[in-house]
C-alpha cells in the first residue's frame, strides 16, 4: 500500500468521523423549552380554530401514550369543542388521579387565552422525560385542557370586522335593542381593513387634534387650545333607522354569566342569557367537569389586566375561610412568576359577577379555581405606564406604528366624507408577537405550581400492636403532602362531595372497632359506630396529618387504602402475624 493511499484513507476516516460527530450534535439549548420537539410549533403568533384543531391532533398523534382528544359537542355554528387529556395512561387509573381543568377563550376576543392552553399542552408533552417536574406532573396528575370555549366568535374576531373588545359574546342572535330584529345594527367596516376603528371629521370648532408626539393618535385639546377634529364614535352607521349606531351586533350575552351558581336574570346581571346553562357551549364544559369528579384544581384564562382572580364573584356569596387562605397562598407564589400581576378577589376588588364559572367550579364541584386576566400593562416597559412610557410610545418605538391604522377618507351615509382610523383590533388587549410566548410560559408555570399543590396522600407510619384476647391494634398516620386539602372546606360544609374513606380489608380480618384522633397518642379518640372498616374522614388539610386506629381479630395479609374523590386512592399492604 502506497504512502499516498494510506494518507487518503486516514483523511477519509477523519472526515467520516467528523461528519458523524456533527450529525450527533444537539442544538444549543435555550432554557425553558424543548430541543427538537416532535411537534414543532410557533408561539409568536395566534392560532385560529382550524390551526388549533390541527395542532391538537398533531400533539395526540405525536404522543399517543400520554394524550387523547375528544369532542364535547358542537357550538351554535357547528364547530367542535375539543378537550385534550394529558397524563401517563400507563401509570395508574386516570379517573383516580388528581385532575387539573384548564380552559380559555370563554370570551372570544380574549384570544391569547387559547395560546396559553395550547402552549401548556405542548410543553407538558414535549418536556415529558426531559424535565423532572413535568414528568412527575404527567405521571401523577391528569390535565384536561379546553383551549376554546367560544369557537364561533373567536373565528369571527379573526376574520370579520371587529375591534379589540369584540365579540365578547357568542354568535347566537339576540335582540339587544328590543326592536323585534336580531343583530341588525352591528359595526360597519367603512374602509374594509378588517378592524372597527373610530371616525372623525375635520372641524375648526372641534375639541380634538392629532398628538404632537405620535401623529395619527387623537388627543383632546386643553382648555383654551384650538382643535381640528370632531370625533364621531365607533366606525359604523345607523343600519336600522332607530337613531342609534352599532347597538345590536353579534350575540351580546356573556358566557361567563351563565353558570349554575348564584345565577341572576338579565335585569340583575347583564349578559346572563335565558337561564343557567342555556348557552350550550357552557353546558358541554360543565357536563364534562361534572363527569370527572377527580378534578381538584381549575384555571380559566381571560384578558386583560394582569390579575390572579379568586372568588367569590358576588358580595352576598361566601367562600370557606381556610379554602381562601389556600388560594391566596398559591396566588402569592403566582405573583412571583407573573411580574405585574396582582392577587385579587373578584367581587371586592374588580366587580361583581353572578353566574360566573369559577364560582360554579368551587361551590358545586369542590374545585380550587383561578381566573387569570392575561397580560399586564407593566410588561410593555417593565414598569407601570406613565406619561412618558405609554401605549402610544410603545406602538411608535417597538411596533413601528403597526398597531394603529392610518386615517383614511371614506364616504358615510349620514356625515358625508369622514376619516376612519385608530387602534387595530389585534392591538392593546393582546400581547404583541415578541411578548406572547413569555406570557404563555409564565402563566403555564403558575398553573404547574397550582397542579403540583393538588392533594397528594402518603402513609406516614403503620404500627401493629398485639392486645389481649387474640386481638390486635393497627394504627395508621396518613398525611397530605401538598397545600390543597383532600376535600374543600366548603364542599365538606355543604356536602358537595362525599367524605374521604380510610379502609382496611383482608380475607381473614374481622374489624371490631374503628377510631380517629386529633393527636397521634389517641388521648381522646372518636369511635365510628357503624362500618368501622371504612372510616369516614372529612378532609386532610394541606400539609396535614390524620390518625386512625382499628381493633381487629384475625391474621394474614391486609390492605389499607385511603380513598378520596379529589386526591385519588393510595393503598399499602401489610401482614398480621
Q: Cell for 389? A: 412610557
Q: How many CB atoms lie within 10 A of CB 4?
A: 7
The CA distance from 271 to 370, in Å, is: 21
pLDDT in tens, 111-123: 999 999 999 999 9
Decide if 456 contacts 98 (C-beta within 8 A): yes
- The DSSP string of 304-360 is SSSEEEES-SSTT----HHHHHHHHHHHHHHHHHSTT-EEEEHHHHT---SS-HHHH
Decide if 453 contacts 484 (C-beta within 8 A): yes
Least Cα distance to 361 among 352, 353, 370, 349 occurs for 370
pLDDT score, position 507 = 82
The CA distance from 113 to 108, in Å, is: 9
The CA distance from 228 to 226, in Å, is: 7
Decide if 35 contacts 29 (C-beta within 8 A): yes
Residue 9 CB partners (closer than 8 Å, separation 6+): none
User: For residue 94, which phi and psi values (nearest 5 degrees)?
Assistant: -55, -40
Q: Cell for 362? A: 368551587
Buried b (16+ CB within 10 A) or exposed e, 184-205: bbbbbbbbebebbbbbbeeeee
The CA distance from 301 to 341, in Å, is: 13
| CA quadruple 488, 133, 285, 303: dihedral sign | positive
The CA distance from 355 to 297, in Å, is: 19
The CA distance from 431 to 41, in Å, is: 18
pLDDT score, position 22 = 52
User: For residue 65, which phi and psi values (nearest 5 degrees)?
Assistant: -80, -10
Sheet holding 229-234, edge to edge: 218-220, 208-210, 229-234, 198-202, 416-423, 404-412
The CA distance from 503 to 559, in Å, is: 8
Residue 267 CB partners (closer than 8 Å, separation 6+): none
Least Cα distance to 117 among 89, 150, 157, 164 occurs for 150
Query: Residue 307, class by beta-carbon neighbours within 10 Å (0-12 exposed, 13-18 middle, 19+ buried)?
Result: buried
Buried b (16+ CB within 10 A) or exposed e, 262-300: bbbeeeebebbbeebbebbbbbbbbebbeebbbbbbbbb
Decide if 236 contacts 336 (C-beta within 8 A): no
Write the CA distances from 3 to 6, 8, 13, 16, integer angstroms: 5, 9, 15, 20
Place of cell 374521604: 500
Calculate the CA 437 to chain-centre distance. Answer: 16
Q: Which helix (H) or strand (E) holds 145?
A: strand 142-146
Predicted TM-score (pTM) of the model is 0.93
The CA distance from 378 to 340, in Å, is: 6
Where the chain has pLDDT below 70, the residues are 1-23, 177, 182-185, 248
Amino acid at each position: 500500500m502506497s504512502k499516498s493511499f494510506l494518507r487518503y484513507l486516514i483523511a477519509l476516516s477523519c472526515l467520516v468521523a467528523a461528519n458523524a460527530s456533527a450529525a450527533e450534535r444537539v442544538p444549543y439549548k435555550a432554557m425553558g423549552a424543548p430541543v427538537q420537539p416532535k411537534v414543532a410549533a410557533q408561539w409568536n403568533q395566534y392560532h385560529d380554530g382550524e390551526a388549533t384543531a390541527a395542532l391538537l391532533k398533531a400533539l395526540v398523534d405525536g404522543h399517543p401514550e400520554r394524550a387523547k382528544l375528544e369532542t364535547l359537542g358542537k357550538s351554535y355554528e357547528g364547530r367542535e369543542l375539543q378537550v385534550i387529556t394529558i397524563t401517563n395512561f400507563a401509570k395508574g387509573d386516570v379517573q383516580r388521579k388528581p385532575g387539573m381543568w384548564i380552559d380559555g377563550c370563554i370570551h372570544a376576543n380574549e384570544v391569547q387565552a387559547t395560546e396559553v392552553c395550547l402552549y401548556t399542552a405542548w410543553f407538558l408533552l414535549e418536556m415529558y422525560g426531559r424535565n423532572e417536574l413535568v414528568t412527575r406532573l404527567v405521571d401523577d396528575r391528569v390535565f384536561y385542557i379546553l383551549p376554546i370555549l367560544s369557537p364561533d366568535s373567536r373565528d369571527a374576531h379573526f376574520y370579520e370586522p371587529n375591534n379589540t373588545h369584540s365579540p365578547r359574546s357568542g354568535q347566537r342572535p339576540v335582540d339587544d335593542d328590543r326592536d323585534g330584529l336580531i343583530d341588525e345594527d352591528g359595526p360597519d367596516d367603512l374602509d374594509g381593513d378588517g378592524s372597527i376603528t373610530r371616525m372623525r371629521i375635520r372641524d375648526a370648532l372641534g375639541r380634538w387634534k392629532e398628538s404632537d408626539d405620535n401623529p395619527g393618535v387623537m388627543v383632546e385639546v386643553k382648555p383654551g387650545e384650538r382643535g381640528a377634529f370632531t370625533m364621531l364614535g365607533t366606525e359604523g352607521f345607523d343600519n336600522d333607522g332607530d337613531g342609534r349606531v352599532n347597538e345590536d351586533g353579534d350575540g351580546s350575552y356573556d358566557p361567563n354569566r351563565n353558570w349554575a351558581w348564584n345565577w341572576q336574570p338579565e335585569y340583575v346581571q347583564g349578559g346572563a342569557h335565558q337561564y343557567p346553562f342555556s348557552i350550550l357551549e357552557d353546558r358541554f364544559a360543565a357536563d364534562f367537569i361534572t363527569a370527572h369528579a377527580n378534578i381538584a384544581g381549575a384555571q380559566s384564562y381571560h384578558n386583560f389586566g394582569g390579575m390572579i382572580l379568586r372568588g367569590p364573584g358576588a358580595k352576598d356569596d361566601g367562600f370557606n375561610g381556610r379554602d381562601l387562605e389556600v388560594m391566596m397562598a398559591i396566588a402569592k407564589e403566582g405573583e412571583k412568576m407573573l411580574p405585574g400581576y396582582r392577587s385579587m378577589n373578584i367581587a371586592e376588588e374588580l366587580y361583581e359577577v353572578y353566574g360566573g364559572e369559577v364560582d360554579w367550579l368551587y361551590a358545586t364541584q369542590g374545585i380550587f379555581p383561578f381566573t387569570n386576566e392575561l397580560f399586564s400593562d407593566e410588561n410593555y416597559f417593565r414598569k407601570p405606564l406613565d406619561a412618558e412610557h405609554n401605549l402610544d410610545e410603545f406602538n411608535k418605538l417597538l411596533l413601528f406604528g403597526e398597531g394603529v391604522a392610518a386615517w383614511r377618507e371614506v364616504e358615510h351615509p349620514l356625515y358625508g366624507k369622514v376619516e376612519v382610523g385608530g387602534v387595530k383590533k389585534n392591538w392593546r388587549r393582546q400581547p404583541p408577537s415578541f411578548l406572547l410566548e413569555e406570557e404563555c410560559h409564565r402563566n403555564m408555570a403558575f398553573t404547574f405550581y397550582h397542579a403540583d399543590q393538588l392533594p397528594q396522600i402518603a402513609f406516614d407510619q403503620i404500627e401493629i400492636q398485639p392486645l389481649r384476647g387474640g386481638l390486635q391494634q393497627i394504627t395508621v398516620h396518613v398525611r397530605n403532602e401538598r397545600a390543597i386539602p383532600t376535600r374543600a372546606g366548603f364542599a365538606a360544609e355543604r356536602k358537595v362531595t362525599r367524605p374521604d374513606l380510610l379502609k382496611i380489608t383482608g380475607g381473614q380480618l374481622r374489624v371490631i372497632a374503628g377510631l380517629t384522633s386529633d393527636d397521634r397518642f389517641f388521648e381522646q379518640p372518636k369511635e365510628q359506630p357503624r362500618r368501622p372498616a371504612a372510616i369516614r374522614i372529612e378532609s386532610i388539610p394541606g400539609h396535614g396529618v390524620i390518625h386512625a386506629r382499628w381493633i381487629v381479630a384475625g391474621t394474614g395479609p391486609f390492605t389499607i387504602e385511603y380513598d378520596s374523590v379529589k386526591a385519588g386512592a393510595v393503598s399499602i399492604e401489610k401482614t398480621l402475624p
